[in-house]
Structure 1
């Protein structure tokens, strides 16, 4: 096994999520580096780290290109840190610190941790990698718990979409909860779709265009023709950033029908009212809210009638961040 070098650079969560196959191309190296993004400190949810593993000692040109991945670090004049790892297995190292976790009926673990031997538990194996959504972040865990809650309430869904699927985890969870549903999972990043397909194989989840398979598509929002053809959906899941959530509100509303349930995450507590306001304006009503640390997960339902007057009354209500009833 050859020596491996690790390059570390601080970034924001938004910068970590924006990484794509295009801006990870490093022209100054003959090999393809592998990138891992992770939360640096649970107490500071916007502080993330980019870790790049490569099999050659990074030169100045390489480090210059890496520095461009984090505008916030560049602004603070923080330079990439370089560490020689020797002949250690960097894949194993990148998984260290990702402890298995339980979210509702789901047990999310990496390939370095064994699954639970419990028939009441659904084991899902997701390794850290370039796509966001390992289940080890509060947003994904909160979504898993919200989906599990809907199942416990007896909700049944036949047509589901996971927008911004990342690793595919939430789509896999939806398949387990509603095995007869038609499910499509999309992401703007083609790397995420590749990662989702790999994770599906690991977890024995069928991928393709058949009724029981999850269909994976690279799509900017809900623009893909296949997404429009399958609309309207009765369950929509979107675990992405607050800005894209707000921008996608009209598209998501257009893909929904009366009583469509919408599960939103990826926003901070300080962004909750802005996101909620965007969706109330297009006809959704808040039905349930849960928070993990600074990260809320909102469950909404598409109303039959809506208007700006109702929007303003609800958004100013002190109950806007609380529970509005079962759905």
Structure 2
């Protein structure tokens, strides 16, 4: 059985709780949390939901309440049916069209429109079916980068989830080599199945994508395959800040990083970390409350001038 704890609060309070969750170094990762608006016509009314595979203990409820600096609103605890709530939460979602991409679940037919890349991504335990604003924003930004003439021969997709963004990169730059990674082992078979369903070849070499399970850049394959022309990371603001120096070492001068998973309120901290690591902003998008950032690593001479200034 799974259990869920729900609390309701204004948007700024829930977003502050999400940021506090990222900063909680001793957080029990068996408790998965998310924040969302309750209804489209009430954008300032939000809920924070926490899921776990056990009945919430007093310590669990205390940890959730501690995310709210002024005291948590009422916590509602409920037992869920014996079903895969992650998959259920993604079923019945409408297809999306972003940039040159069309993403849909198997219950919908492909678009089959010239110039549009079609992906079928079933609901699964891995993040990234395209409906979330961060994933959709990344698809739009990748399209923009390609139209701006960005050339990619070697790319990495960190925190790949379903593999969608790595697949999208290969569709835009079909001769590139790609490596995808995720910290969650469940993503390995999910990516393999999605690659098969979408005609993406796994493995090493041009037009192919290798898949590894790793935290950040901590894997020999990721390190050996670099440096990269493009590094995609749709994760969370905290890890993005921590990984800025590693990403800088993994990207060629003039190369790009595409960052997502950060709230707009977290954007200044993320941009400051990457500015210190030698990146400059090329473009940004805001989707709802989420920022999507395209940054380019400064060339050596440009970085030297920036340091002198």
TM norm structure 2: 0.78
Question: Does the Cα contact within 8 Å between 2:283 and 2:294 map onto a contact in 1?
Answer: yes
Deviation, structure 1 residue 310 = 3.8
Cα drift, residue 269 of structure 1: 1.0
- Helix, strand or coil: the match of 2:222? helix
Q: Name 2:79's counterpart in structure 1.
A: 82
Q: Give unmatched runs, 5+ long, in structure 1.
A: 26-34, 53-57, 314-327
How far off its partner does 1:205 sit? 1.4
Structural mapping, 1:73-152, within 5 Å: 76=72, 78-82=75-79, 94-152=89-147
Number of the residue aligned with 1:185 = 180
- Map 1:54-65 → 2, pairs under 5 A: 62-64=54-56
Q: Tell me, in whole angstroms, the C-alpha distance in 1 between the residues paired with 2:112 and 2:205.
A: 30
Q: Is the 8 A contact 2:155 2:179 kept in 1?
A: yes
SS in 1 for 2:129: coil
Deviations 1:7-33 (A, max 9, x none): 4444876779x9xxx9669xxxxxxxx
Shift of 1:45: 10
Using the alignment, how far apart are the partners of 1:185 and 1:149 within structure 2?
21
Residues 151-191 of structure 1 show CA distances to partners (whole Å, capped at 9, x for unaligned) of 12232210001111111110010011111100001112212
Segments of 5+ residues of structure 2 without an aligned counterpart are 8-16
**Taking structure 1 as reference, are residues 107 and 38 closer, same or farther at Cα in structure 2, changes over 3 Å only?**
farther
Cα distance 1:170–1:119, how it changes in 2: closer, same or farther (>3 A)?
Answer: same
SS at match of 1:200: helix
- In 1, are the aligned partners of 2:177 and 2:207 still within 8 Å (CA)? yes
**Contact 2:99–2:143 (CA<8 Å) still a contact in 1?**
yes
Q: State how far apart, in whole Å, the 2-side matches of 1:39 and 1:111 are.
A: 25
More deviation in 242-251 or 285-294? 285-294
Matched positions, count: 286
Structure with greater proportional strand content:
2
Instruction: State the alpha-carbon separation in 1 of the partners of residues 245 and 45 from structure 2.
Output: 28
Q: Which residue of 1 aligns with 2:64?
A: 72
- Aligned-partner Cα distance in 2 for 1:251–1:46: 35
Q: CA deviation at 1:46?
A: 8.0
Match of 2:10 in 1: none
Write the distance in 1 (CA, Å) between the matches of 2:271 and 2:77. 38
Q: CA RMSD in A?
A: 3.6
User: Greater CA deviation, 178-187 or 68-77?
Assistant: 68-77
Contact between 2:176 and 2:208, CA under 8 Å: does it hold in 1? no
**TM score, norm. by length of structure 1:** 0.74
Taking the aligned partners of 1:13 and 1:306, their CA distance within structure 2 comes to: 36
- What does residue range 222-237 of structure 1 map to in structure 2 within 5 Å? 222-237=217-232
